């Protein structure tokens, strides 16, 4: 029997104090933590429940303004409380209208029941779905540092093709890890250059979401750059005045993690040229994988099928695949071409923007009706 104490936090500072203890872990919606506890993949001795803290508001960063979605001056961005549920995030008018890719990403994940329980911060901090991490009988450097990595020569269909640092000539070592991070939301947030605000024993700080999740780089057991005792209090979405989109390729039309996903955000100047571009792939690395070579090709250009084909051709540059996941390389190129074309309006979205329909490559089960009909229904 593994002893486990429980504390319900009464304030953020109480949560910081309690979670600074050795062996402590935070629990928010619990949809990830409880599974990991039951599987024996994690073994905290003290659970700090933050689910009752008042961190469940979505508001314009210039707070005090109307948060109904009719707000006129969104030039300062939006703040999302760490405990805002995935459902509330995906359905908030400010998010659907201004940060559409965030809404699409969240809608495309998990199930309605899980999205209702899961928190925004918890979504970012979920652990990998690598099956060996969740099986205490298998070698896994992330769960048990130094024990090896069963995935390299095992079932690696869902694993990383970027940023894992694996060198076949050196073989599996005590720090090898080729796991991918599964969060859909994280990919969309990286495409908006979003930050998380945290409170910790040494005070408050902000971390770009891109830097919150880390590559294995010698320490595969550390998935995140949070310091002991740090609590995420909110997500910060910077001002954005362009078009955005999220696309997810998966085995099933619902209730499935991404094989490869992609978020794109494009802003345009008065001549219709692309003035700023962010493109990030999901489920291909231990963190959302930005594609700077693709972005550079886009900036300063007018949208066209030729431009997007040329940019997408660079989407798998530098990837290193394993026995079962080389499909992710052509998938990366084709999803980037398609998302750019749809985001710029050259190709129609598969469904109404801000919904799982628009985020799902191939549509959802039972939705073969024409797009115009679906859009009409949603408006």
Ligand X SMILES: Cc1cc2nc3c(=O)[nH]c(=O)nc-3n(C[C@H](O)[C@H](O)[C@H](O)COP(=O)(O)OP(=O)(O)OC[C@H]3O[C@@H](n4cnc5c(N)ncnc54)[C@H](O)[C@@H]3O)c2cc1C
Give the shortest CB-135-to-ligand SF4 separation in angstroms: 9
Q: Quick one: how many helices (H) and strands (E) in the chain? A: 14, 12
**CB of 225 or CB of 323, closer to ligand X:** 225
> Is the distance from CB of 245 to CB of 342 less than 8 angstroms?
yes
Contacting ligand X within 13-42 (CB under 6 A): 25-33
Q: How far apart are CA 55 and CA 47, in angstroms?
A: 19
Of ligand X, ligand SF4, none, which one sits near residue 319, judging by CB under 5 to 8 A according to partner kind?
none
Is residue 321 at the binding interface for ligand SF4, with CB under 6 A as the rule? no
**CB of 119 or CB of 128, closer to ligand SF4:** 128
Give the shortest CB-72-to-ligand X separation in angstroms: 31
Contacting ligand X within 180-219 (CB under 6 A): 182-185
* Four-point Cα dihedral 5, 223, 284, 195, nearest 10: 100
What does the longest C-alpha to C-alpha distance in the chain come to? 67
Q: Give the residues across from 263 on adjacent strands.
A: 246, 280
Of ligand SF4, ligand X, none, which one sits near residue 141, judging by CB under 5 to 8 A according to partner kind?
ligand SF4
Identified binder of ligand X from the candidate list 24, 80, 110, 140, rule CB under 6 A: 110
> Is the distance from CB of 212 to CB of 196 less than 8 angstroms?
yes
Q: How far apart are CA 42 and CA 40, in angstroms?
A: 5
Give the shortest CB-358-to-ligand X separation in angstroms: 16
Residue 175: half-sphere exposure toward Cβ, Cα within 13 Å: 11
Is residue 322 at the binding interface for ligand SF4, with CB under 6 A as the rule? no
Is residue 102 at the binding interface for ligand X, with CB under 6 A as the rule? no
Give the shortest CB-191-to-ligand SF4 separation in angstroms: 25
Identified binder of ligand SF4 from the candidate list 74, 96, 130, 186, rule CB under 6 A: 130
Is residue 244 at the binding interface for ligand X, with CB under 6 A as the rule? no
Number of residues that bind ligand SF4 (CB under 6 A): 14
Of ligand SF4, ligand X, none, which one sits near residue 123, judging by CB under 5 to 8 A according to partner kind?
ligand X
Of ligand X, ligand SF4, none, which one sits near residue 179, judging by CB under 5 to 8 A according to partner kind?
ligand SF4
Mapping DSSP to helix (H, G, I), strand (E, B) and coil, where does residue 52 land? coil
Give the shortest CB-361-to-ligand X separation in angstroms: 14
Task: State phi, psi for 319 to the nearest 5 degrees.
Answer: -80, 150
**CB of 274 or CB of 281, closer to ligand X:** 281
Of 132-140, 254-262, 317-325, 334-342, which part binds ligand SF4 (CB under 6 A)?
Answer: 132-140
Is residue 118 at the binding interface for ligand X, with CB under 6 A as the rule? yes
Q: Which residues contact 264 (CB under 8 A, 6 or more apart)?
A: 101, 191, 244, 245, 277, 278, 279, 280, 336, 339, 340, 343
Q: 338: buried, middle or exposed (CB in 10 Å: 19+, 13-18, 0-12)?
A: buried
**CB of 88 or CB of 149, closer to ligand SF4:** 149
Contacting ligand X within 121-150 (CB under 6 A): 121-123, 125-126
Identified binder of ligand X from the candidate list 162, 166, 257, 289, rule CB under 6 A: 257
Of ligand SF4, ligand X, none, which one sits near residue 110, judging by CB under 5 to 8 A according to partner kind?
ligand X
Q: CA 373 from chain center: how many Å?
A: 30
Burial 24-60 (b: 16+ CB within 10 A, else e): bbbbbbbbbbeebbeeebeebebbbbbbebebbebbb
Q: Give the residues across from 69 on adjacent strands.
A: none
Mapping DSSP to helix (H, G, I), strand (E, B) and coil, where does residue 240 land? coil
SS3 breakdown of the chain: % helix, strand, coil, rounded to 5?
25, 20, 50
Contacting ligand X within 82-101 (CB under 6 A): 82, 86
Q: Is 171 left (phi over 0), alpha (psi -120 to 50) or beta?
A: left
Give the shortest CB-346-to-ligand X separation in angstroms: 28
Positions touching ligand SF4 (CB under 6 A) are 128, 130, 132-133, 140-142, 149-151, 177-179, 220
Positions touching ligand X (CB under 6 A) are 25-33, 50, 82, 86, 109-110, 114, 117-119, 121-123, 125-126, 182-185, 231-232, 257
């Amino acid at each position: 029997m593994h002893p486990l104490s429980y504390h319900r936090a009464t304030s953020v500072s109480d949560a910081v104090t309690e979670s600074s203890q050795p062996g402590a872990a935070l629990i928010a919606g619990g949809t990830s933590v409880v599974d990991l506890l039951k599987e024996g993949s994690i073994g905290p001795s003290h659970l700090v429940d933050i689910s009752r803290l008042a961190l469940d508001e979505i508001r314009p960063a210039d707070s005090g303004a109307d948060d109904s979605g009719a707000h006129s001056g969104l030039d300062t961005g939006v703040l999302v409380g760490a405990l805002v549920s995935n459902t509330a995030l995906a359905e908030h008018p400010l998010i659907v209208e201004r940060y559409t890719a965030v809404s699409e990403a969240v809608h495309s994940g998990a199930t309605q029941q899980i999205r209702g329980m899961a928190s925004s911060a918890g979504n970012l901090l979920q652990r990998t779905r690598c099956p060996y991490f969740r099986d205490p009988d298998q070698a896994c450097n992330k769960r048990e540092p130094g024990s090896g990595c069963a995935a390299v020569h095992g079932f690696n269909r869902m694993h990383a093709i970027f940023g894992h640092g694996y060198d076949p000539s050196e073989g599996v070592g005590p720090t090898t890890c080729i796991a991918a991070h599964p969060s859909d939301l994280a990919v969309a947030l990286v495409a908006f250059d979003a930050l998380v605000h945290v409170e910790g024993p040494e005070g408050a700080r902000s971390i770009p979401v891109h830097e919150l999740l880390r590559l294995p780089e010698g320490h595969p057991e550390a998935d995140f750059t949070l310091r002991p005792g740090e609590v995420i209090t909110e997500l910060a979405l910077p001002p954005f005045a362009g078009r955005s989109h999220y696309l997810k390729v998966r085995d099933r039309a619902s209730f499935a993690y991404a094989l490869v996903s992609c978020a794109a955000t494009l802003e345009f100047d008065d001549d219709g040229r692309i003035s700023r571009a962010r493109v990030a792939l999901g489920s291909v690395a231990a963190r959302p994988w930005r594609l700077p070579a693709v972005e550079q090709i886009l900036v300063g250009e007018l949208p066209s099928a030729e431009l997007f084909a040329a940019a997408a051709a660079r989407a798998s540059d530098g990837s290193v695949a394993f026995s079962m996941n080389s499909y992710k390389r052509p998938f990366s190129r084709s999803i980037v071409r398609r998302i750019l074309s749809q985001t710029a309006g050259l190709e129609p979205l598969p469904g109404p923007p801000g919904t799982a329909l628009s985020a799902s490559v191939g549509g959802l089960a039972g939705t073969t009706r024409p797009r115009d009909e679906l859009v009409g229904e949603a408006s």
